[in-house]
Amino acid sequence: MGKLIVDGNCVYEIDEDCLKNRWVPEGCEVYEAFERARRAEALRDRTDNEKIAER
């Protein structure tokens, strides 16, 4: 399944499995956008879990 990455005015569609199985050159803007989105999603998940634990 692909994932859309919005980075400023750019939108990229990438396949997570492809990134896991292939070498991606350092400095690849698409990969960096994917990593930023992944970190932001992980942070949201942690924040949501903390809010649930507070209840």
pLDDT in tens, 1-55: 577 777 788 887 777 777 677 776 667 777 787 788 888 888 888 887 777 776 6
How confident is the model at residue 14, as a pLDDT? 74
How confident is the model at residue 30, as a pLDDT? 74
Taking CA 31 as the corner, what is the angle to CA 6 and CA 48, rounded to the nearest 5 degrees?
A: 60
Query: What is the pTM for the complete model shown?
Result: 0.49
What total of structural domains would you count in the chain?
A: 1
How confident is the model at residue 1, as a pLDDT? 57
| Residues of the domain holding 37 | 2-54
Locate 30 and state its tokens. Answer: 């698409």
Whole-angstrom distance, CA of residue 54 vs CA of residue 52: 5
Name, in order, each residue with C-beta under 8 angstroms of 31's C-beta and a sequence gap of 6 or more.
14, 19, 24
